[in-house]
Amino acid sequence: MGLITEFKDYLLVRRRYSSRTASIYCDVVEDYLRFAYPETPCGQGGPDSSLEDGDILEALRFQLIRGYVSRMMDRSLDARTVNLHLSALSTFCNYLVRQKKLTSNPVKEITRPKEKKRLPSFFTPEALAEYFDSPCADGYLPVRDRMVVTLLFDTGLRRAEAASLRISDIDLSRLTISVIGKGNKQRIIPIVGSLAEKIGDYLDLREEFAAKSGKASSDAFFLTDKGAPAYVEFINRVVKAELSAIKGISGKKTPHTLRHSFATALLNDGADLNSIKEVLGHSSLAATEVYTHNSFEKLKEIYKTAHPRAKK
């Protein structure tokens, strides 16, 4: 078993990364090795197995990594993409340090390019009201799709958290949802009574659907059309299909935009940043503070329409 295969197992088992994220990290490591050894089968697009473990460790040097960054910048990759590559390489090096195969992480010495600040996009309350006020067809599938959007917006769940949600994670008597988020961290999210009522109605339909599809023993909260547990791409498709039918909703129709919309709505309605941080499962307050920019943009719009001098 090679170093990269062991690294992927570590990400999946110990770090609890999704298979998609683990594959992306390993792809970055392999891309770096192709840069480091351009004359080998690895460098010519072949598998990394053409390299010995010692060759991989030898390639993880400061000067070579800095050259890799320069090549990415020469290819006009944006700063965010470059930093994502460096984060993946840094995680790989940290893993090797823990395994005592490297003495230190050379990526930590690399100066990272500065990223442009990007405000998170979000749906306006008016646009979402048009969606939630629209009629929903009967039956498990349409009600499930409505529940996907409702749950994401009412709780701020990440798409992977929604996909892996289990019935046993929901306590309707206490009005809470237990979630295992990034880094295997558990958090408790409160839910309002109206959402709890919708969840109860949904679970009745889900029970009937699961029994008909032979999946009655499954604890997955969301089931696909065939009765299998939901997965991340399934959640993506449902959100896009549901919101594409609403004229007032533009921009990216993704679970993450619903998460941004949830956080922005909480902040605009007076919730404090620390409370929003806990509900979203952010590891630091800095990740939550980005939503204050959206609130400031709203304040500017109010200023323009309400200020007597602005009206003139």
For residue 302, the model assigns a pLDDT of 46
Interval 61-68 mean pLDDT: 95
Catalytic residue among 8, 159, 259, 260: 259
pLDDT in tens, 95-125: 999 999 999 999 999 999 887 766 556 777 7
Listed ranges 42-46, 156-160, 200-204, 275-279; the one with the highest mean pLDDT: 200-204
Using DSSP, state whether 175 is helix, strand or coil.
Answer: coil
Q: How confident is the model at residue 20 (pLDDT cuts 50, 70, 90)?
A: confident
Tokens of 1: 């078993």
Q: How confident is the model at residue 236 (pLDDT cuts 50, 70, 90)?
A: very high
CA distances from 291 to 44, 84, 160 (A): 44, 22, 21
Q: State the Cα–Cα distance between residues 311 and 308, nearest whole angstrom.
A: 5
Interval 198-215 mean pLDDT: 92
Q: Considering the chain, what is the average pLDDT of its residues?
A: 85
Cross-strand partners of 188: 178
Answer with the residue of higher pLDDT: 274 or 204: 204
For residue 213, the model assigns a pLDDT of 84
Q: How confident is the model at residue 28 (pLDDT cuts 50, 70, 90)?
A: very high
pLDDT in tens, 122-163: 777 777 888 888 899 999 999 999 999 999 999 989 999 999
For residue 235, the model assigns a pLDDT of 95
For residue 257, the model assigns a pLDDT of 87
3-state percent breakdown (helix, strand, coil) of the chain, nearest 5: 60, 5, 35
Using DSSP, state whether 43 is helix, strand or coil.
Answer: coil
Q: Is the pLDDT of residue 51 over 50?
A: yes
Q: State the Cα–Cα distance between residues 143 and 208, nearest whole angstrom.
A: 13
Active-site annotation holds for 158: yes
**What is the percent of the chain where pLDDT is above 70?**
84
Catalytic residue among 17, 68, 231, 291: 291
Interval 211-218 mean pLDDT: 84
Active-site annotation holds for 20: no
- Is the overall model pTM greater than 0.75, yes or no? no
Tokens of 291: 């939503």
Task: Give me the sign of the Cα torsion angle 145, 241, 152, 177.
Answer: positive
Q: Which CATH superfamily is domain 125-305 in?
A: Intergrase catalytic core (1.10.443.10)
Q: Residue 297 class from Cβ within 10 Å (0-12 exposed, 13-18 middle, 19+ buried)?
A: exposed
Burial 3-16 (b: 16+ CB within 10 A, else e): bbeebbebbeeeee
Q: Is the pLDDT of residue 178 over 50?
A: yes
For residue 161, the model assigns a pLDDT of 93
DSSP H or E stretch at residue 176: strand 176-180
Interval 27-56 mean pLDDT: 79
Answer with the residue of higher pLDDT: 107 or 300: 107
- Residue 219 · residue 168 · CB < 8 Å: yes
Active-site annotation holds for 282: yes
Q: State the Cα–Cα distance between residues 73 and 294, nearest whole angstrom.
A: 30
Q: Which of 241, 203, 219 is nearest to 164 (CA)?
A: 219
Choose the CATH number for 3-109 among 1.10.8, 1.10.150, 2.60.120, 2.40.50. Answer: 1.10.150
Catalytic residue among 158, 253, 260, 277: 158
DSSP assigned state of 178: E
Active-site annotation holds for 260: no
- Residue 82 · residue 73 · CB < 8 Å: yes
Give, to the nearest 10 degrees, the angle between helix 3-13 and helix 79-98: 100
DSSP H or E stretch at residue 170: strand 170-171
For residue 47, the model assigns a pLDDT of 47
DSSP assigned state of 270: T
Catalytic residue among 182, 187, 215, 293: 182
Interval 45-55 mean pLDDT: 69
Domain ranges of the chain: 3-109, 125-305
